[in-house]
């Protein structure tokens, strides 16, 4: 049996890693791939919706099926929800995600009839973020994914891996919610390093700093890790 705990106070005054130090170490550890900008915000938006609560493989399969069934976004919007649901079934939670995608596309159609969201590249960053989060069911993480991966803008998506690793490293308070963590983490890193920081923290969370059984003995960051909330045997 294990429980999630706050580590002893002897760690609380420990000097923590700086973002640039984390990037330097984890780039070597995981060989971070170069950034590739898709230049298709609506593609990235729908893909991010499909990626929720599933693996990259499953969301990729769901997106592949969607694009094979529908020739364009207007066709997706025009289709019955049950047809869209069947098309994206490989991604899991298809009943919920199909309704959400319809809602998002309906609102985009009202605001941008041609479904072209490239105007977000030229808007002030906070205006672009606000526009995206005004869409049904689009939160800070989804908006950040669209801006970072489709347009190369310096926004930091905080998924479960980034949130877990950043809390264990003491980069954000243990009880801080993900929305506030987005703001704090993004402000802590230089704009040019946002992509590297995001990707390195994700890889560290997936491959070393796992949720239930973190490999602390193999961790390249253990030297200055307070291990906040790390499960220990009880």
CATH code, 170 = 1.10.1670.10
pLDDT value of residue 10? 43
pTM for the model stands at: 0.91
Q: Which of 136, 151, 166 is at the close of a domain?
A: 151
pLDDT value of residue 104? 98
> Which letter, b or e, does each residue of 18-47 get, where b requires 16 or more Cβ atoms within 10 Å of its Cβ?
ebeebbebbeebbebeeeeeeebbbbbbbb
pLDDT value of residue 201? 98
pLDDT of 233 above 90: no
Q: How confident is the model at residue 30 (pLDDT cuts 50, 70, 90)?
A: very high
Residues 135, 52, single domain; the answer is yes
Residues 147, 161, single domain; the answer is no
pLDDT of 9 above 90: no
- Closest by Cα among 147, 204, 207 to 17: 204
Residues 62, 131, single domain; the answer is yes
Residues 50, 21, single domain; the answer is no
pLDDT of 234 above 90: no
User: What average pLDDT score do residues 106-135 get?
Assistant: 98
pLDDT value of residue 12? 54
Residues 47, 136, single domain; the answer is yes
Residues 144, 49, single domain; the answer is yes
| 3-class DSSP assignment, residue 215 | coil
Q: Which of 151, 179, 207 is at the close of a domain?
A: 151
CATH number reported for the structural domain that contains residue 137 in this entry:
1.10.340.30
User: What average pLDDT score do residues 111-128 get?
Assistant: 97
Residues 182, 221, single domain; the answer is yes
Q: How many domains does the chain have?
A: 2
pLDDT of 157 above 70: yes
Catalytic position from the list 10, 18, 141, 215 = 141
Q: Please give the DSSP secondary-structure letter assigned to residue 15.
A: P
pLDDT value of residue 6? 47
Q: Give the whole-number percent of the chain exceeding pLDDT 90.
A: 90
Phi, psi of 80 (to 5 degrees): -60, 145
What is the rounded CA–CA span in Å between residue 183 and residue 187? 6
| 3-class DSSP assignment, residue 115 | coil
Q: Which of 151, 183, 209 is at the close of a domain?
A: 151
Is 141 known to be catalytic? yes
Residues 147, 45, single domain; the answer is yes
Residues 67, 112, single domain; the answer is yes
pLDDT tens sequence across 171-200: 999 999 999 999 999 999 999 999 999 999
Rg (CA), the chain: 19
pLDDT value of residue 231? 85
Report which of residues 232 and 191 the model is more confident about: 191
User: What average pLDDT score do residues 116-123 get?
Assistant: 97
User: What average pLDDT score do residues 102-109 get?
Assistant: 98
Average pLDDT, the chain: 93
Residues 127, 47, single domain; the answer is yes
**Domain containing 50: what range?**
41-151
pLDDT of 103 above 80: yes
Residues 218, 129, single domain; the answer is no
pLDDT value of residue 15? 85
User: What average pLDDT score do residues 155-178 get?
Assistant: 95
What is the rounded CA–CA span in Å between residue 178 and residue 163? 7
Residues 67, 142, single domain; the answer is yes
């Amino acid at each position: 049996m294990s429980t999630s705990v706050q580590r002893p106070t002897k760690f609380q005054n420990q000097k923590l890693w700086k973002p640039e130090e984390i990037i330097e170490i984890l780039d070597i550890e995981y060989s971070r791939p170069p950034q590739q900008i898709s230049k298709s915000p609506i593609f990235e938006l729908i893909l991010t919706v499909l990626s929720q609560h599933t693996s990259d493989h499953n969301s990729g399969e769901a997106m592949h099926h969607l694009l094979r069934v529908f020739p364009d976004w207007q066709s997706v919007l025009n289709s019955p929800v049950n047809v869209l649901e069947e098309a994206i079934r490989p991604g899991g939670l298809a009943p919920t995600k199909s309704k959400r995608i319809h809602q998002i596309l309906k609102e985009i159609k009202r605001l941008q009839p041609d479904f072209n969201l490239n105007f977000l590249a030229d808007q002030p960053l906070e205006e672009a973020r606000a526009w995206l989060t005004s869409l049904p069911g689009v939160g800070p993480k989804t908006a950040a994914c669209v801006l970072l991966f489709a347009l190369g803008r310096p926004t930091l998506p905080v998924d479960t891996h980034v949130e877990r690793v950043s809390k264990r490293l003491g980069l954000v308070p243990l009880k801080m919610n993900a929305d506030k963590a987005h703001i704090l983490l993004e402000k802590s890193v230089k704009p040019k390093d946002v992509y590297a920081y995001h990707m390195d923290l994700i890889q560290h969370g997936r491959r070393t700093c796992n949720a239930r059984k973190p490999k602390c003995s193999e961790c390249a960051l253990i030297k200055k890790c307070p291990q906040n909330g790390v499960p220990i045997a009880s």
